Copies of this chain bind each other. A is one copy, B any other.
Amino acid sequence: MGPFAHLILLIFSILAPLISSMPAFFPGAAYQSLAKQHKASKPKIPYRAHYFPQILDHFTFQQSSSKIFYQKYLINNRYWQKGGPIFVYTGNEGDIEWFAANTGFLLDIAPKFRALLVFIEHRYYGESMPFGKDSYKSTETLGYLNSQQALADYAVLIRNLKQNLSSETSPVVVFGGSYGGMLAAWFRLKYPHIAIGALASSAPILQFDDITPWSSFYDAVSQDFKEASLNCFEVIRGSWEELLALATQKEGLTELSRTFRTCKDLHSVDAVWAWLWSAFVYTAMVNYPFEANFMMPLPAYPVKQMCKIVDEFPPGASKISRVFAAASLYYNYSRSSKCFQLEHGPDAHGLHGWGWQACTEMVMPMTCSERSMFPTSTYDYKEFADRCLKTYGIMPRPHWITTEFGGKVRFLLHFHLSSYASLVEVLSCVQRIDQVLKRSSGNIIFSNGMQDPWSRGSVLKNISSSIIALVTQKGAHHVDFRAATKDDPDWLIEQRRQEVEIIHKWINEYDADLKQRPKDAES
């Protein structure tokens, strides 16, 4: 969920070294327009919105700590039986209604558990803006946007909610997808006294430092296309150069504008690259086995459909025309667009929430290897940090997430002090997170589908008897969280069945502990 926002950084971090004329730091305009589109078509969801007066700064006691903001959360109590479990979705980088609409799984299972459903919006997204319209205005207003503050929000809100409902003993299970899944897993790690377990779907908690090979994300995207069709993979791989070659010709941009049916004439090839790039990456992520409308409306198995389009062109057709047609599946499956907006006005390049998070703590280095269908690229931390400083007035803390949440990494010496000109790479000292989880935590499901490139940065093997990896070969980005459909394949039905079974086990254990209380109580 909200993978788009993730990608904003990806697109930047990969393209930027290649295309020096990249128009803006974070091409978040695309996210904005996506958000607008979603708003327009906002589905009716069976939740009621509430607003919780939340502490702005949990970890510093200043005058600002008395400042509160109103955090939105959604409630569905239709299936709840008092005393039953509370299922909390730990919201990620976007409008909480969007996540609620795309997490039908919770509505599907609520009756079985007689569960209360709660979706909490992440601070600085949707309506949960601490400084209203000025929330993204400056370094100062953005400062409180980070994962630790968000986790503390969830802790305070859940505690308060249970109290208001007089349901202190109801077990809480947290759910999240993508960044929301990272938050769910981390919440279970840091607040085990509040959540008895977590289902973290497509949560790349290992995408930091060098825990996961930096090229794995784009290798995985490419792998999806290669599996669908080797020719398709080769066409896309060859298209970047063809595009560059055409763009440098006289009238090349005019021709590109025509081919890509742009609403306005193109000024450079960069926007074309970014547009294609997004289409391929998102389609790989949402390579679902059924028609869906998560990022965009798409048919079942959209990667296969894209490659079918590429492959069905007559011999001799240009790579450019093929990749345009393929990308059109992503942008125009509903056939409602007459032209495409590839370049965005300067006003659209404002500051964006995920951009800030990526420039502070969510530093996920990525490269494109020769195995990928994208132009090869390296990761230049100095350049990245430079842009963060320029855009947000802040230096990243690239190793903070692994310090705060764990991971086995190499890292950059004295990152917070050294001028980034003199960074020295040395081996770090943090234990492998799998060993840590094994010895000190439990009750987490990491679910992943291997079609999803984010799966490579997640947990793909069982760590202990209660830290379970559920991996499907054909699954995509938190496909398990979508509402059940009549077209669901068996492997998806089975994955969800296992999830329900494991959550039942957690709740039974919790109930057993609760009953045991009188015996071993009062130390």
Pair B440/A163 contact, Cβ less than 8 Å: no
B residues near A63, Cβ cutoff 8 Å: 139-140, 393
CB distance from A115 to the nearest CB of B (A): 16
B residues near A146, Cβ cutoff 8 Å: 59-61
B residues near A97, Cβ cutoff 8 Å: none
Pair B61/A60 contact, Cβ less than 8 Å: no
Chain A residues 158 to 196 lying within 8 A of chain B, measured CB to CB, are 158-163, 166-170, 188, 190-194, 196
How far is A58 from B399 in the complex, measured between Cα atoms in Å? 12
Question: Which residue of the partner chain B has the closest CB to A395?
Answer: B66
How far is A520 from B463 in the complex, measured between Cα atoms in Å? 10
Question: Which residue of the partner chain B has the closest CB to A430?
Answer: B193
Interface string of A456-473 (1 = CB under 8 A from B): 000111000000010000
CB distance from A133 to the nearest CB of B (A): 20
Pair B68/A417 contact, Cβ less than 8 Å: yes
B residues near A513, Cβ cutoff 8 Å: 435, 438-439
Of B57, B434, B436, B461, the contact of A192 (CB 8 Å cutoff): B436
B residues near A55, Cβ cutoff 8 Å: 397, 416
Pair B406/A59 contact, Cβ less than 8 Å: no
Pair B459/A142 contact, Cβ less than 8 Å: no
B residues near A40, Cβ cutoff 8 Å: none
Pair B159/A403 contact, Cβ less than 8 Å: yes
How far is A449 from B152 in the complex, measured between Cα atoms in Å? 34
B residues near A161, Cβ cutoff 8 Å: 429
- Any chain B CB within 8 A of the CB of A258? no
Chain A residues 181 to 227 lying within 8 A of chain B, measured CB to CB, are 188, 190-194, 196
- Any chain B CB within 8 A of the CB of A19? no
B residues near A191, Cβ cutoff 8 Å: 404
Question: Which residue of the partner chain B has the closest CB to A415?
Answer: B160
Of B427, B435, B443, the contact of A440 (CB 8 Å cutoff): B443
How far is A472 from B59 in the complex, measured between Cα atoms in Å? 36
Question: Which residue of the partner chain B has the closest CB to A206?
Answer: B523
Interface string of A293-329 (1 = CB under 8 A from B): 0000000000000000000000000000000000000
Question: Which residue of the partner chain B has the closest CB to A60?
Answer: B143
Pair A159/B429 contact, Cβ less than 8 Å: yes
B residues near A170, Cβ cutoff 8 Å: 429
Pair B143/A65 contact, Cβ less than 8 Å: yes
Chain A residues 318 to 375 lying within 8 A of chain B, measured CB to CB, are 356, 360-361
Interface string of A383-413 (1 = CB under 8 A from B): 0000000000111010110011111000101
Pair B426/A139 contact, Cβ less than 8 Å: no
B residues near A435, Cβ cutoff 8 Å: 513-514, 517
How far is A191 from B402 in the complex, measured between Cα atoms in Å? 10
Interface string of A229-271 (1 = CB under 8 A from B): 0000000000000000000000000000000000000000000
CB distance from A406 to the nearest CB of B (A): 3
B residues near A443, Cβ cutoff 8 Å: 439-440
CB distance from A110 to the nearest CB of B (A): 20
How far is A399 from B162 in the complex, measured between Cα atoms in Å? 14
Pair A163/B62 contact, Cβ less than 8 Å: no
Pair B417/A192 contact, Cβ less than 8 Å: no
Question: Which residue of the partner chain B has the closest CB to A463?
Answer: B523
Pair B59/A59 contact, Cβ less than 8 Å: yes
Pair A440/B439 contact, Cβ less than 8 Å: no
Task: Among A61, A152, A399, A417, find the residue whose CB has the most chain B CB atoms closer than 10 A.
Answer: A61
Pair A160/B414 contact, Cβ less than 8 Å: yes
- Any chain B CB within 8 A of the CB of A144? yes
B residues near A434, Cβ cutoff 8 Å: 520, 523
CB distance from A99 to the nearest CB of B (A): 24
- Any chain B CB within 8 A of the CB of A21? no
Pair B442/A442 contact, Cβ less than 8 Å: no
Pair A403/B61 contact, Cβ less than 8 Å: no
Pair B59/A166 contact, Cβ less than 8 Å: no
B residues near A523, Cβ cutoff 8 Å: 434, 459-461, 469
- What 7 pairs between A and B have smallest CB-CB spacing? A193-B406, A162-B429, A192-B440, A62-B143, A59-B59, A168-B429, A461-B523
- Known contacts A61-B142, A434-B520; 18 additional CB pairs below 8 A are A55-B416, A61-B356, A68-B417, A159-B429, A162-B428, A162-B429, A168-B427, A188-B440, A191-B404, A192-B406, A192-B436, A192-B440, A193-B407, A193-B433, A194-B431, A432-B517, A435-B514, A439-B513
- Could you jot down 15 A-B contacts, CB within 8 Å? A53-B414, A58-B148, A59-B149, A61-B360, A63-B140, A65-B143, A66-B395, A159-B399, A159-B430, A161-B429, A168-B430, A169-B429, A196-B439, A439-B509, A461-B520
